[in-house]
Amino acid sequence: MKFKTFAAFIGPSVFMMLLFIAFPLVSVFQQSFYITQPIYDLVDVETCTPGFVTQTCVTETQSVPRLDEEGAIITKTDFVGLQSYRNVLELGRAWDALSSGSWAAFQSIDFWKALRFTLSFTLITLPLVICAGLGIAVMINSAAKSVRGPVIFVSLLPFIITPVIGALSINWLFRGDGILTAALEWYLQRDIAMFAQAWTIEILMMFYRVWHVAPFAAIVFYAGLQTVNQDSLESAIIDGASRWQRLKYIIIPHLMPLIVFISMIHLMDSYRVFEEIVGFSSQGHVISLQWLTYDFLVPDQAGNRSISRASASAMLTMIGIALLLVPLLRRTWRDHQGGH
C-alpha cells in the first residue's frame, strides 16, 4: 500500500485521537502542576445598625476579590510542582494512620478511600463478568436455532439500557420500600436497610455492573464460539471428555485472546466507575476515583474549583489504569511474538 493511501485512511483517525485524547491529556497533565487562584485585596468595610437616635457602626477588614475593568475576577497562576499530587494523596496523614494501625483513619482520606473501592470494584467484577459472559454465550450457542435470535435479544437488554438509568432502577428496587427489599423483609421476617452501610451498597453496585456488562462479553464470546474447531470437539467427545473438560481444554484456550480483550476493556471502564456512584447516591459511604475528580471540579461556596487537584486526581487515575493493563499488554505482546 502506498504511503499516501495509508495516510488517507489513517489520517482522520490520528487527527481525532490527537484532538480529543492526546491534547486534552497533555493539558490536564500541565494543569496538575499549576494552581490558579483569585487575587484578593483587604478592604475596610463599615457596617452600621439602624437606629432612630444613635447608630452603631463597626468597621471590619474583609478579603474582596480584585476585579478588572469589565468586572471579572483577576486570577494568578503559580507553578507548584507536585504540591497538588501531595494534596490529593495526603501521604503524611496516610502514613500516620497506618503507623498507628487505624484503618478507619486511613479510610477517612478521600483518595485512599476511593482507591480501595475502585480497585475492589474492578478486580472483583472482572472474573464475574467473564464467567457470566461465557456462561451466557454457551447457553446461546446451545439453544435451538429457532429461538437463538430472541435469546440473544433478551440477553442484550441489560447492556442496551443507559448506565445511569439502569443504576437508578436497581436503586429503586432495593431502596426503602422497594419491591425486592419488601420481598426480602417478608421472607426474612426482619427489617432490611440496604443503603445504610457501605458493604451492602458495594455489593449492589458490583451486582449492577456485572448485570450490565456481562451481555457484551457474552456476544463477544458467542462470536468466538463460532470459530471453535468442531473436529477437536468431536474427537474429545469420542474420547469420553466431559462437558467441563471440553470447555477447559478446548474452548477456553481458543477464546483466550477474547478473554484478554474483554479484560482490557473491563479494566479501563470499571476503573473509571462513576455512574454507579451517582445512580446509587453512595457519596456518603462509597466514592470512586472518577467521582473524586468530579468532586474537585464542583465549585465551592465562593465559586472556586480545585482544577489543579482534579487534574492530579485524573492523572493518578490514568496511571492506575496503565498499571492494571501492563500484565494483559505483556501477554498480548508475547502471543503476538509467538505467532511470528
Query: Cα(85)–Cα(92) distance, rounded to whole angstroms?
Result: 12
Torsion angles phi and psi, residue 299, rounded to 5: -60, 140
| Separation between Cα atoms, residue 47 and residue 249, nearest integer Å | 83
Report the pLDDT value the prediction gives residue 155, as an integer from 0 to 100.
Answer: 84
The rounded distance, in Å, linking the Cα atoms of 243 and 133 is 17
Residue ranges of domains in the chain? 114-339
DSSP 8-state code for residue 52: S
CATH class of 114-339: mainly alpha
Q: Are 304 and 38 in contact (CB under 8 A)?
A: yes
49 DSSP assignment = -
Q: Are strands 75-79 and 34-38 parallel, antiparallel or unpaired?
A: antiparallel
Q: Residue 89's pLDDT is what?
A: 92
pLDDT score at 5: 82
**What's the distance, CA 209 to chain centroid?**
11
| CA torsion through residues 312, 313, 317, 319, sign | positive
Q: What is the pLDDT of residue 51?
A: 65
Distance CA 265, CA 310 (A): 24
pTM as predicted: 0.84
Cell, residue 186: 417478608
Q: What is the pLDDT along the chain (340 residues), one digit of tens a residue?
A: 677 787 888 888 888 888 888 898 899 999 999 888 878 778 877 777 776 667 777 788 777 777 877 777 777 888 888 999 999 999 888 888 888 888 888 888 899 999 999 999 999 999 999 999 999 999 888 888 888 888 888 888 888 888 888 888 888 888 877 888 888 888 888 888 888 888 888 999 999 999 999 999 999 999 999 888 888 888 888 888 888 888 888 889 889 999 999 999 999 999 989 988 988 888 888 999 999 999 998 887 766 788 899 999 999 999 999 999 999 888 888 877 765 5
On the CB side of 293, CA atoms within 13 Å amount to 18
